Chain A
């Protein structure tokens, strides 16, 4: 028996299935489980290829073009890229077609539509491989732009719609990302790293939740938590995981990612300049950057602007924040299941109902993380595990790029404009980020200034 309720607390109304009894057939019929099996299959094939050395199974990454050495866009296609592109296309076509078939959807319509979507996503990835775009914005931005342009000008053709399965791509990408979350990294900067990264993050999330829901009175709860996670953890990746865990609307994710991207560019350049201007120690400055700048690439670069010590400390702190994504997504899923999405008037949500509502793909994310952290890394070694992760990285990016292109193709400007809500979500991001910056500086100073605790010895 399926019961559907309208989610009254959210302005963006959507129906959410809240009480569907688990059946074993769900394991091969439901999107969450199919995403897990599909991602695990990719992991298995990539790991087999790396360990045996018999074949090279990795997703395509276009070469950077627009540089002095590689000025033409055609340069994006040189080397092994064409073979990798075919491998990526066939692997995803098979996985998602079988997934659709098992969900009793038309495989024929999906295949035709997927060919179109994969082509558009390839265009996105070629554009974002341009030297400047590659370094500053990358695929999420361009996927949204291209998708929105098509959807709001020539309109998204009907034949393409069967492939616009944003959630399926995101869930698959997130399980793949689980393999990259190595829990053993928690000890890389000891108590210092844990205090800076994990001490501050949940406080910022709770602060932003209260600010968003109670002070600014934003009615769209998933939007609030998605922005909060993007601000406090690590930008786009955290936004994707949290949006999926809170069952956010597609436009919520697009808004959170867009906001995070435009402010991260400023912070990447501004923070090291400010730190140098006030003469802050690179150890403190690097840790401050690691705890506050959203995107990981921006963190390493901004930290490196302070020198090798700043770059190393920034990377150490950010590495621990990268671990948090799965746990934050897990916590958000539990919170939304038990508090936000519960039936009005219901006092207590039982374990059975939590299980029924819980987004199952998070289990796949955590299992992948645990296997790579505590099984593969200790047995295969750090280098081989790193090699497997490297082979999987682009499959994850392709899954997310397919998702963002789908979001753009399904979103109209009016819908996106509705997210603005008089600018409240932007206020939430700006005030939340300022709070994050101040609190992180306070904790970094407490731990690393040498006033209270001994200054750690970092080898660079």
Chain B
């Protein structure tokens, strides 16, 4: 088990270094990557996050209700299991 773990870690770190040296995964013209942890860290984040791309037919009230009901249920489950 430990050997497998060490191999995974070694491959990941070597892979990271290779990706960074070769600038893999980046897109020309986009000045960000996984170093931008939160959405507001992304340059010109409004372009990606403030536009309207989808018109929901479900009201905000219903979405909020589902959000809290599901959250409450999961909290109860966690407390029961934990």
Binding site for B on A (CB under 8 A): 64, 128, 132-138, 140, 177, 180, 184-192, 194, 198-199, 202-203, 205-206, 209-210, 213, 234-237, 261-266, 268-269, 272, 293-298, 300-302, 304-305, 311-312, 315-316, 318-319, 322, 327, 331, 334-335, 338-340, 382-383, 386, 389-390, 393, 396-397, 422-423, 426-427, 430, 456-460
Contacts and interface: CB of A to CB of B under 8 A. Distances in A.
Given A297-B32, A427-B5, A459-B53, 15 more contacts: A134-B33, A136-B35, A185-B49, A189-B53, A190-B58, A190-B63, A191-B66, A262-B13, A296-B36, A297-B42, A301-B26, A302-B25, A304-B27, A322-B39, A456-B54
B74 to A, nearest CB: 4
A107 B63 CA distance: 48
Contacts of A301: 25-27, 30, 32-34
Interface in B51-82: 52-58, 60, 63-64, 66-67, 70-71, 74-75, 77-79, 81-82
Contact of A136 (B30, B34, B53, B66): B34
Contacts of A268: 25, 33-34
Given A135-B32, A304-B27, A430 B8 contact: yes
A269 B58 CA distance: 35
Contacts of A269: 19, 24-25
11 contacts: A135-B34, A188-B56, A190-B58, A194-B67, A234-B38, A265-B20, A268-B25, A305-B27, A311-B48, A322-B39, A335-B78
A422 B2 contact: yes
Interface string B16-29: 10011001111100
A188 B53 contact: yes
A177 B77 CA distance: 28
Contacts of A237: 37-38
Given A132-B20, A186-B60, A427-B5, A180 B35 contact: no
Contacts of B34: 135-137, 235, 261, 264-265, 268, 293-295, 297-298, 301
A77 B70 CA distance: 48
A189 B37 contact: no
A289 B33 CA distance: 14
B78 A128 contact: no
A296 B16 contact: no
Contacts of B33: 134-136, 268, 297-298, 301
Interface of B: 1-2, 5-6, 8-9, 12-13, 15-16, 19-20, 23-27, 30-42, 45-46, 48-50, 52-58, 60, 63-64, 66-67, 70-71, 74-75, 77-79, 81-82
Contact of B40 (A191, A266, A389, A430): A389
Given A205-B78, A319-B49, A191 B36 contact: no
Contacts of A338: 79
B82 to A, nearest CB: 6
A210 B56 contact: no
A128 B34 CA distance: 12
A391 B1 CA distance: 48
B19 A209 contact: no
Contacts of B16: 136, 262, 265-266
A265 B34 CA distance: 6
B50 A386 contact: yes
B48 A300 contact: yes
